Structures are given as C-alpha cells and as structure tokens.
A and B are shown apart, each in its own frame.
Chain A
Amino acid sequence: MREEVPAPAGSGVQTVPFVEVRRLTKRYGSVLALRGADLELHRGEVVGLVGDNGAGKSTLVNILSGGIQPTSGSVLVDGTEVTLRTPVDARRAGIETVYQDLSLAPDLSIWANMFLGREAVVKGPLGRIGWLDRKAMMERSATSLEETNIRIASVLSRTGRLSGGQRQAVAVGRAVSWGSRVLLLDEPTAALGVEQQQRVGELIKRVAANGIAVLLISHNLPQVYEICDRVVVLFHGETVANLRTSEIDIDDIVGWITGSALAARRLHEGQA
C-alpha cells in the first residue's frame, strides 16, 4: 500500500539513481524495525527522510552508512547491488555520513579531523612507518573547505573551540571533501540555534547544487520543507510516501507521518 511516485531526478532527466534502496527490512529479535523501505537518491537532489520516532529512520540510515546489516532487501549503488559491512565499505561506495554527534575529535585540529582515519603520509622508504604529511593535509583541508565555500580562519584551530554551526560545517566539509556522491545527514541542526540552522541549510543546498545527492534526516519539518526537493516518509518501518515538496504543503507531510493520510487513502481505496 504505497503511493507510487516516479522518482523525480534533480535535473528532471531520468538516470540511474546514485543510491537505490529496495524493500529493505531489518529484524531485531521479534521486532521488525524496517518492514519495507524504499528510497532513491539522485544527483543534485536533497531528499528529506522523515517519520515519527521508531518509524525506522535511524535503522535505514545505519544500514546505508555500513553500521548494521539489513535482514533482507537490497542496496544498489549506480544500479549495482552492494554489501555495506562497515562504515569503510559505505565510504568506498561513495556514501559519506555526517552523524548526529558529528564524529569529530574535539581535541584535534580541523585538518586532523578532515583526515581522521585517512591520514596522508610522506611517500618514500619511511612512508611505511607512516610519517605524517602534515603540510599536505593542512593545505588540502584548507582548499577543500574553501571549495565548499566554508570559510575558516585556520585549519590549525582546535575543533572543540568551534561553535556548533562551525563544527557542523567542518563535518559536512569533511564528508564532501572525500569525493562522496551521497551525503547522509543525521539531524544536522538539532543542536543549533536558528541562525546557525539557516547557515547549515544553505550549506546543504550548495553541496547538492554541486552534484551530490543529499539525504537529510530531520525532525525539523519546516526546515525539511524549505531545503528538500523531495520528502520520503517512513511509517512503522515502511516507506508510505514519496512527495515533491513543490506539490504539497507541510500539513501533508504531517498527515503521512502520523498515519492519517495513509488511513484516508486506504479508506478511499476501499470505497472505490
């Protein structure tokens, strides 16, 4: 019982989606956290993933970021089925995740965080021991943040000294800098003030405009409505709606989240 909406690509041209999720399920003992999630992410698109608490948003995102394994169903990247066993697998497939807690090391400088787990080392005989190429990492961090139009005073700053919005920007900048094509953002503005939410929203749109597919998981419906091209609604572990924000208003999204729109459609179908 799902609303069949052809996936609108950002450009309006039908292409193979960067990421496609088909009938994904996840079972924890006797609990079905996901009972049939479908999702398509296209180039240049910002898609909102919404649903009430327990609807399965976190489970779906965890599967896409390589944190947990699905019970059944498939994940396709560029039309090819992939198995994402670890976060590293997901990254190799071009899927970068900006976690709700940002996964930054507050005691390390911005450049060290940009290269966390992917440190550049000096080439040559001593490279095997792993002498850090600090200069290269600093330069590349500065360049890639600049390319995403994130302005920083210095990549040498300790990350813990930045404000919440600044840290969010560094986390997004890090994800984008690694050439990801799909960006998963888990509640990126939950901890931010209004002005910083605005800035992060602009950053997300810029990232998408640069050809990246963005999946935004958020409880902030006005923000989802404002930023996203499309909204996918999960209800009781199932994708129940796939809506273009240009064709609906916020109350429609609320209706799908609470299940009332689904009930109404079932009633309507029953009468037809």
Chain B
Amino acid sequence: MSISDQMPTEVAPETPRDENAPAFQRFMESIGQFWTFGVLVALILIFGIAAPDLFSKDAWLSTSEFAVEYLILAVGQTFVIITAGIDLSDGAVLGFSGMAGALLMEHVMIGGPSGAGTVVIGIAAMLLAGTLIGVLNGVLITRIKLPPFIVTLGTLTAVGGATNLLNNGTEITTLPNFINNMGTASVLDGWLPIPVLIALAVAVVFGLILARTRFGLRTYSIGSNDAGARRAGIRVDRHLIMVYAISGFLAGLAGLMVTANFQSASPIAGANDELYAIASVVIGGASIFGGRGTIFGTVIGTAILSVLTTGLVLTNVAPFWQQVAIGVVVVAAVAIDRVRTRAGTD
C-alpha cells in the first residue's frame, strides 16, 4: 500500500491573519523586524533637523567612539540572551580585563615598555582574562545549575572588587605607544577610527557565526527549547559554557578598546555598561526569553542608543534626561515588539 494514496495531513497554511486585528497591529506585522531600522532613520532625521551638527565629522566620531564599547559587549550579550540567559558581568569584566592587561604591561617588559612582546602579552592577557571569567560564569551556570542572573550578578560584584584590588583602585596611564596609537588611529581620512573598524569586524564575524553556522543555530535551539536540544543530542552544557566564554572574550576585547581609547586603564571603566549592552540587544528585537535575536538587530539597537545620546547632547538636553530617554526607549521597544508578534505566537 502506497502511503501517498491516503489522506494527507495538512500542515499550514499558517494561522490565518486576524483580519479584525487593530490596524496598528496589522501594520506592525507587515513591516516585520525592520521597524527598528525605521526608528533609527527617524531618530537621525529628527535630531538632524533639530541640530544639523549631527552630520558633522565630530558628531560622527564621538557617536561611533561611544558605540564601539557597547557594540562589542552587545554582540556577546546577544548570544547569551538568545540562550535565554543574561550576562550582567560584562561591564565589570571589561574593566577587569583592561586593568589586568595594563598592569601586566607595566611590569612585564619584553623589548622595552613599548616592545612588541609587551604589547602582545598585554593584549593576550586582556582577552584571556575576559574569556576565563566567561568560562567561570558558564561553569557555575551549567554545572551547579544556578540561574544566569545570580551567577553574573555575583561575578559583576566580585570582579568589580578584584579590579580595584589589582592597582589599589587607581588608574594606569603608562601604556605602550602601540596601545595608545591604536585608540586614536583611523583610516578613510579620519572618518573611520580603528576601534570602529574592529567593532564592525566583530559584528560581521559573530553575525556570520550566529546566522550561518551550526554553532549559531544550536544557540537558538537551546534558547528555544533546552530540553528538546538535549534530547536531540546537543551538548547543551558545553555549548552554554562556550557562549558565556564568547561574552567574556568580547568583554576582554572591549576592555582593550576602552583602554586604548582613553590611553589608560581605569578601575571604573565599563561600569554599568552591561545595562546599555542588554538594552541594545533588546531594542534590536531579541527575546529575553531566548530563541530570538540577530546581530543585525543588535547593531541597530546600539546605533539607536548612540544616536539618541549624541542627539540629546547636541540639542542641549540635560544629561539626566538622557538616561530617562534611554530607559523609555528600552521599555517602548519591548512593548512595540510584543504588539508586533502577538498574533500567532506561542
């Protein structure tokens, strides 16, 4: 007996659209996930009209410089949030990594204070310190089965203290020339600072990993259905440790960028950065419940926060209002996304 003779089992058409849904809701569904891009364009236009300086080289450089730190952290945070986790420690790890690397470069001089060996060891130390703290987060979360919120809240606090212990709470300003130059060097006639180039490269590389590799797809699988992923043979614990390691590694890289940019390692570097990173990811459309999010969305989310900050400065809005505005944007973004995806969701 051929099975195709028999009655087929219909899957789809998809849940039909609710034709009676409010016009706004239907509109939001039809523009899909690109609405945040529209918000970014709208912000640029509004602030551009209010303060034409927004299109100046100075404004672009200060906006992009601001964005570098948050974008690198937010890329790592995107992976974590897609697994339904959270990394509250990445700002603190940024500060610790920068301080640890700077301290090492101050004391270990291979080929002199600005020697290549010193620079390589310092950069390696920053990346390694970040990665190791990420691994520690991952191990505590998967092996002891503690909630990511609690684990990373703990590392946020402990690592913050450790940063101050490293150099008695003072900053380090004696850095190799290479590091200092890296923060200020640029290409394209000064329009593209090297740190911005590095941040964009990070976004492209990790965007490809998330969207085009098995590792990326499994990151979504775990966030969407952890038990299902386990039954499907995915090594969930190992994968999560790698995801937190990525977040830590990128926090270490952000530590390098910030140290180079300010030509010093400060114990308060990175403080509260995790909030901006999480905000960027969430504005970019990732679900805090896991399973959804893209690096493209995160880039847009970071750009929205950065343009908003520069725009408010240029329009002479008092700094405290900037924080209020960012808070409002985060909540509004999630609320709009909820309306957009309400129909036919789980």
Verify that A and B bind, or say they do not.
yes
Interfacial residues, chain A to chain B (CB-CB below 8 A): 67, 86-88, 91, 97, 99, 101-108, 110, 112, 116-119, 121, 129-132, 134, 145, 147-154, 157, 160-163, 165-166, 169-170, 199-200, 202-203, 205-207, 209-210
Cβ of B12 and Cβ of A117 under 8 Å apart? no
Which A residues are CB-close (under 8 A) to B55? none
Which B residues are CB-close (under 8 A) to A210? 3
* A87-B233, A103-B232 known; A206+B3 contact, CB < 8 A: yes
- Between A97, A149, A199, A200, the greatest number of chain B beta carbons within 10 A of the residue's beta carbon is seen for A149
Which partner residue on chain B sits nearest A205 by CB separation? B6
Cβ of A162 and Cβ of B11 under 8 Å apart? yes
Which A residues are CB-close (under 8 A) to B4? 149
A219 to chain B, nearest CB (A): 22
Which A residues are CB-close (under 8 A) to B228? 99, 101-105, 116
Cβ of B221 and Cβ of A105 under 8 Å apart? yes
Cβ of A103 and Cβ of B231 under 8 Å apart? yes
* Complex CA–CA separation, A240 to B287 (angstroms): 49
* Complex CA–CA separation, A153 to B216 (angstroms): 26
Residue among B11, B217, B292 making CB contact with A119, cutoff 8 Å? B217
Which B residues are CB-close (under 8 A) to A200? 9
Which A residues are CB-close (under 8 A) to B15? 161-163
Residue among A149, A157, A160, A207 making CB contact with B345, cutoff 8 Å? A160
B39 on interface, CB distance cutoff 8 Å: no
Cβ of B220 and Cβ of A105 under 8 Å apart? yes
Cβ of A161 and Cβ of B14 under 8 Å apart? yes
* Complex CA–CA separation, A150 to B223 (angstroms): 27
Which partner residue on chain A sits nearest B231 by CB separation? A87
Interfacial residues, chain B to chain A (CB-CB below 8 A): 1, 3-4, 6-15, 212-218, 220-221, 223-225, 227-234, 287, 290-292, 344-346
Which A residues are CB-close (under 8 A) to B1? 209
Which B residues are CB-close (under 8 A) to A149? 3-4, 6-9
* A170-B11, A206-B3 known; A117+B233 contact, CB < 8 A: yes
* Complex CA–CA separation, A202 to B11 (angstroms): 14
B346 to chain A, nearest CB (A): 4
* A105-B228, A106-B346, A160-B345 known; A86+B14 contact, CB < 8 A: no
Which B residues are CB-close (under 8 A) to A206? 3, 6
Which B residues are CB-close (under 8 A) to A160? 344-346
* Complex CA–CA separation, A162 to B215 (angstroms): 26
Which partner residue on chain B sits nearest A154 by CB separation? B12
* Complex CA–CA separation, A153 to B8 (angstroms): 13
Cβ of A203 and Cβ of B9 under 8 Å apart? yes
Cβ of B212 and Cβ of A132 under 8 Å apart? yes
Which B residues are CB-close (under 8 A) to A110? 11
Which B residues are CB-close (under 8 A) to A134? 212
A1 to chain B, nearest CB (A): 36
Cβ of B214 and Cβ of A132 under 8 Å apart? yes
A62 to chain B, nearest CB (A): 11
A160 to chain B, nearest CB (A): 4
Which A residues are CB-close (under 8 A) to B234? 116-117
